[in-house]
A = this chain, B = another copy of it.
Amino acid sequence: MHSEVVASRSAEQRDSRESRNGTPHLDAVSLAIIEQLQEDGRRPYAAIGKAVGLSEAAVRQRVQKLLDQGVMQIVAVTDPLTVGFRRQAMVGVNVEGDVESIAEALTDMSEVEYVVMTAGSFDILAEIVCEDDDHLLDVINKRIRALPGVRSTESFVYLKLKKQTYMWGTR
C-alpha cells in the first residue's frame, strides 16, 4: 500500500483544459483520488489525502468538484436481480437518421439505466431494468420500437450477473 503519488504541482496541476467532448482534463492526483474511492466510496478524506499526498481539505475540495462536474459519482451499486427487479435485458438498437436523438430519448426512460452509442452491428446498446416480463415487453415493444427512427432491435435477457467491478483504476 501507500502508493504516494507525488503532486508535481506545476505544469500538471493547473491544467484545466477541456477535451473535445466537454469533459475536463484530469491530472494524476485526481485519478489517484478516484482510484481510492473506487476501492471504498466511504473512505475518509484524511486517509485519501495521506495516500495521494494532499491535505484533507484539498481532497475534500477536489472530490466535491469531481462530483459537481459529473466526472464521478459515489453511489451504492447492486445486482438489480437480487433487489426485486426480476427482468433485466440489454437491447441492441439500429437507427436510421439521427442516432443522437434516439439515444437521448432512451436516456429519458426511467427503466433504462445505461445507454451507449457504439460502432458495430448496433448503433446503440441500452440496458433495461424491469419489474417483470410484462413490464419488459412493454418497454421494448411499445416504447422503444415506437420511437421514430428506430429500424430494429434485438434483446438479450439477463440470466445471471457474474461480475460487476469499478476498480479498473487499481490493476
Q: Give residues in A with beta carbon < 8 Å to B.
A: 19, 21, 23, 26, 31, 34, 37-42, 71-80, 82-85, 89-90, 92, 103-104, 106-107, 110-122, 125, 129, 154-169, 171
> Which residues of B are found within 8 Å of A89, using beta-carbon distances?
118
> Which residues of B are found within 8 Å of A26, using beta-carbon distances?
82-84
Q: In the complex, what distance in Å separates the CA atom of A162 from the CA atom of B126?
A: 10
Q: Once the chains bind, are B38 and A107 in contact (CB under 8 Å)?
A: no
> Which residues of B are found within 8 Å of A84, using beta-carbon distances?
26, 31
| Tally of this chain's copies | 2
CB nearest to A39 among chain B residues: B75
Q: In the complex, what distance in Å separates the CA atom of A120 from the CA atom of B117?
A: 21
Can you list 26 A-B pairs with a CB-CB distance of less than 8 A?
Answer: A26-B84, A31-B83, A41-B42, A42-B74, A71-B79, A72-B78, A75-B77, A75-B166, A80-B168, A85-B168, A90-B90, A90-B118, A90-B125, A106-B162, A107-B163, A110-B168, A111-B168, A113-B164, A115-B161, A115-B163, A116-B159, A117-B162, A118-B158, A119-B159, A121-B156, A129-B168
Given A26-B83, A31-B83, A119-B159; 12 other pairs, CB 8 A cutoff: A26-B84, A34-B83, A40-B74, A42-B74, A71-B79, A71-B83, A72-B78, A90-B118, A106-B163, A110-B171, A118-B156, A120-B154
